[in-house]
Structure 1
């Protein structure tokens, strides 16, 4: 009898654990199918990621020649990699292929306010976005989550498909550093001559909105406060009034995107609360850090 009760108790525990696991997968921002338009880009995801890898390595090589890449002991780079380590385990929910990506995180020595994630999980931040915006870890996670989301949702391939690209390899191989991927054309010519051709290739407002929401979801699951996204874009807007930011040239800002994030906040706050072991109805207010004095 005792063994039977024990078996029933164990079965109940397994069922409860499975239910909680399923709930953890189904809550948050709902996962949608990847856009079929990406299949019109002229290459599959593996080809696209390989070209992105070559492009990223070329950019790093040229930046290294100009001593524009932070070393592994750089505190800010250590910080970025620690945040990425928390986000990456949740990426496969949005794109199963991400579990096989060769994730990399690098920091470029530039005052530019910018960051990007190339296809295949190759992330780069610029010093400027960390220092000029005085970002908290939660806000860094929102930037990183947003950029990772573009890669996860294959927005670059989708955009190439929308532009009726007939040769993806030729499109990528000619660009050592493209505005398409957020490269800084002022980084000592390290980005190559192809940037100008990509300047017009911007993600759509729909892509940007999706990246905001997916980034919020990733951050919340990793235990970063998704409300930091509101503070981040408020900072972006404040800085952009005095100095137009390259980051915002390809990332539409303003009250609409903040409104969209607020509308979906109720979906991700419970996820964040669960990750932190907190009561979702008793979350403390989010506190940002003021912008540096100019």
Structure 2
């Protein structure tokens, strides 16, 4: 038990090593250079496996929004230019990776009604990179695996009955009590950081609320929030609405200086080509 207590103390100490921009305690066990290389490698693999859109109007629209967003990202997050790729897929998704990579699926352009709503998506995804969420998630997985292994050893050495059930129960407890809430906190943080980023880039932050109202119409069969890695749409809308008092002044300052982007969404987003 003393060994377990010592390990728990070390884990608690590690979680206090750094703090996110929103004040949340973080643990990051991996060097940033390693995470950047992971992001670059993953992105290159995706470009080989997923068709890339060649539609000029679609690419111009996405690049216009992404360039406006990344122009306001600190160089500490990525030293060079950001690479933006539009993937020709019906998936309603987008992502950003360490190493300065952004991917947007054409499917999400049918949900985002204008430049501001796409900026909410890209701002959110870049927010994950800014707050080092990939590092945190990998670190959390590593620490939880270590903790479960130690607990399993302790249970194995004890006299409790049904040891297998105890170990299985611990695994479920870690999943629903640690990993999923951890992921939900990342999503909520990326929502807020992304809303600020889009507003500082000249996009209307209210559009982030409208975006998730659109998303909620697509996900009526979503699992309960406590069983999901993402907050419910209702939770996200409430949090984003509450943060408008902070983000709106950033947008109004850009508007006053006439620094608003003018990214035109194509009237028609080409349907992804199906491989024969």
TM-score by length of 2: 0.66
CA contact (8 A) 1:146 1:215 kept: yes
Does residue 138 in structure 1 map to residue 125 in structure 2?
A: no
CA contact (8 A) 1:233 1:253 kept: no
Does residue 214 in structure 1 map to residue 193 in structure 2?
A: yes
* Structure 1 gaps, min length 5: 1-29, 167-200, 279-294
Does residue 267 in structure 1 map to residue 254 in structure 2?
A: no
Does residue 117 in structure 1 map to residue 96 in structure 2?
A: yes
Give 1:49's match in structure 2, choosing from 18, 29, 36: 36
Q: Which residue of 2 aligns with 1:290?
A: none
Distance 1:130 1:90, change over 3 A: same
Shift of 1:107: 0.9
Cα distance in structure 1, aligned partners of 2:132 and 2:80: 13
Does residue 155 in structure 1 map to residue 137 in structure 2?
A: no
CA contact (8 A) 2:78 2:99 kept: no
SS in 1 for 2:230: coil
- Superposition map of 1:198-213 within 5 A: 204-213=183-192
Q: Which residue of 2 aligns with 1:59?
A: 46
Q: Which residue of 1 aligns with 2:82?
A: 103
Shift of 1:164: 1.8
Does residue 234 in structure 1 map to residue 213 in structure 2?
A: yes
SS in 2 for 1:158: helix
Q: Which residue of 1 aligns with 2:27?
A: 37
Q: Which residue of 2 aligns with 1:82?
A: 64
Q: Which residue of 1 aligns with 2:169?
A: none
Cα distance in structure 1, aligned partners of 2:100 and 2:194: 14
Shift of 1:106: 0.7
Shift of 1:241: 2.4
CA contact (8 A) 2:116 2:207 kept: yes
Question: CA-atom RMSD, angstroms?
Answer: 2.8
Cα distance in structure 2, aligned partners of 1:211 and 1:112: 20
CA contact (8 A) 1:216 1:268 kept: yes
Shift of 1:235: 0.4
TM-score by length of 1: 0.62
SS in 1 for 2:86: strand
Cα distance in structure 2, aligned partners of 1:34 and 1:122: 25
SS in 1 for 2:38: helix
Q: Which residue of 2 aligns with 1:195?
A: none
Q: Which residue of 1 aligns with 2:237?
A: 258
Cα distance in structure 1, aligned partners of 2:233 and 2:47: 32
Shift of 1:266: 0.6
CA contact (8 A) 1:220 1:268 kept: yes
Cα distance in structure 2, aligned partners of 1:36 and 1:252: 19
Q: What does the per-residue CA deviation read over 1:103-161, in whole Å, with 9 as the maximum and x for residues that have no partner?
A: 11111111111111111221111111112x15211000000000010011110110111
Distance 1:102 1:44, change over 3 A: farther
Does residue 69 in structure 1 map to residue 56 in structure 2?
A: no
Cα distance in structure 2, aligned partners of 1:250 and 1:117: 18
